[in-house]
Amino acid sequence: MTRPAAAVAASLADALASLAPTGVRCEVLPIDAVHRASLFADERAAMAAARPRRRDEFATGRAALRAALGRPVAVPVGDGGRPVLPPDVTGSIAHDDAVAVAVAGSSARWAALGVDLERAGPMPADEAALVRRTDEGDLDARMVFVLKEAAYKAWSALGGRLLDFTEMRVEVAGEGSFVATPIVSGAPNLRGRYGLVDERWLAVVAFTRRTGVGCFGAGLA
Ligand SMILES: CC(C)(COP(=O)(O)OP(=O)(O)OC[C@H]1O[C@@H](n2cnc3c(N)ncnc32)[C@H](O)[C@@H]1OP(=O)(O)O)[C@@H](O)C(=O)NCCC(=O)NCCS
C-alpha cells in the first residue's frame, strides 16, 4: 500500500535532519499544486510550457528551499537547470513522485550542498552498467545513482562540468557515510551521508568553505 505523501515527508524530514551536518537546514514537503501560488515571476515563466505535474514538483521544490532558507527569495533556473540562490546562501533540491526535499545553508560556511532521493529497487542490468563503475563492486546500483546525483549537484554548484556516472567514483564508509570523487584532475573528494528511508534512498553532500573538504568527519581519505 502506498503511504500518504505527508507521512513520507515526515519520515524523510526526520531522516534528512539527522543525515545533514549541523548548520545545514532541511525541508521536505509533499508535492502539492498549492505551492504554485508562491512562485516568483521568473520561476513561473520558466515553467510556462511545463506539464502540470512538473509545475507542481518545481513549485514544491522552491517552497521547500525557501522554507529551509527561512526567507522568501526568488530562485531562478540557472545553467543546466541548477537553482540560482542569492550569494550569501547555498542549497539544493530534489524530488520524486510524492515529495520534494531541500537543503540550505550559509555560503560563508558551505561552498556547496547537494541532495538527492529516489525510490529504492533493482535497476535493470543495462542501466546499472552505466551508473556503477566496475571498481565500485556490488554496491546497490540505485543507491550508487542517488549518491552520485547528490554529489554531482554539489560538484556542479562548485563549477564542475557535466559528468557521466562512470566519471564519479563512490566509496561507502561506515555508518551511512560516503565519499564521491569525480574522475577529473584536481577534483576534491565530496563527502556525504545517506540512508534508506521509507523505501527511498536519500543522500546529502556538504562541502565546507573553511577547510575545503567534506564535513562529515574523517571518513575515507
Ligand atoms: C541535475 C540532475 C542530477 C537532477 O537529477 P534528477 O534525478 O533529474 O532530478 P532530482 O529530482 O534529483 O533533482 C532535480 C533538481 O536538481 C536541481 N538541479 C538541476 N540541475 C542541477 C545542476 N546542474 N546542479 C545542481 N542542481 C541541479 C534542480 O533544482 C532540480 O529541480 P527543479 O528543476 O525542480 O529546480 C540531472 O538531471 C542531471 O542533469 N544529470 C546529469 C549529470 C549527472 O547526473 N551525472 C552523473 C552523476 S556524476
Residues 197-215: tens digit of each pLDDT: 999 999 999 999 865 555 5
CA dist., res. 79 & res. 127, Å (int): 26
Confidence (pLDDT) at 214: 59
Q: Give pLDDT tens digits for 94-107.
A: 999 999 999 999 99
The percent of residues above 70 in pLDDT, for the chain, comes to 95
Residue 193 alpha carbon to ligand 1 centre in Å: 18
Q: Indicate whether residue 145 lines ligand 1 (CB < 6 A).
A: no
CB-CB contact of 135 with 144 (8 Å): no
Confidence (pLDDT) at 15: 98
Residue 81 alpha carbon to ligand 1 centre in Å: 7
Q: Mean pLDDT across the stretch 62-87?
A: 96
- Domains for the chain: give ranges and CATH numbers: 5-208 (3.90.470.20)
Query: Could you count the other beta carbons within 10 Å of the beta carbon of residue 36?
Result: 18
Confidence (pLDDT) at 216: 60
The percent of residues above 90 in pLDDT, for the chain, comes to 90
Residue 12 reports pLDDT greater than 70 = yes
Q: What is the pTM of this model?
A: 0.95
Burial grade of 73 (CB within 10 A; 0-12, 13-18, 19 or more): middle
Residue 179 carries which DSSP code?
A: E
- Nearest atom within ligand 1 for CA of residue 93: 29
Residue 153 alpha carbon to ligand 1 centre in Å: 6
CB-CB contact of 168 with 139 (8 Å): no
Q: Indicate whether residue 93 lines ligand 1 (CB < 6 A).
A: yes
Which residue has the CA at smallest separation from atom 4 of ligand 1? Answer: 149
Q: Mean pLDDT across the stretch 55-72?
A: 98
pLDDT band at 221 (very low <50, low <70, confident <90, very high): very low
CA dist., res. 109 & res. 218, Å (int): 18
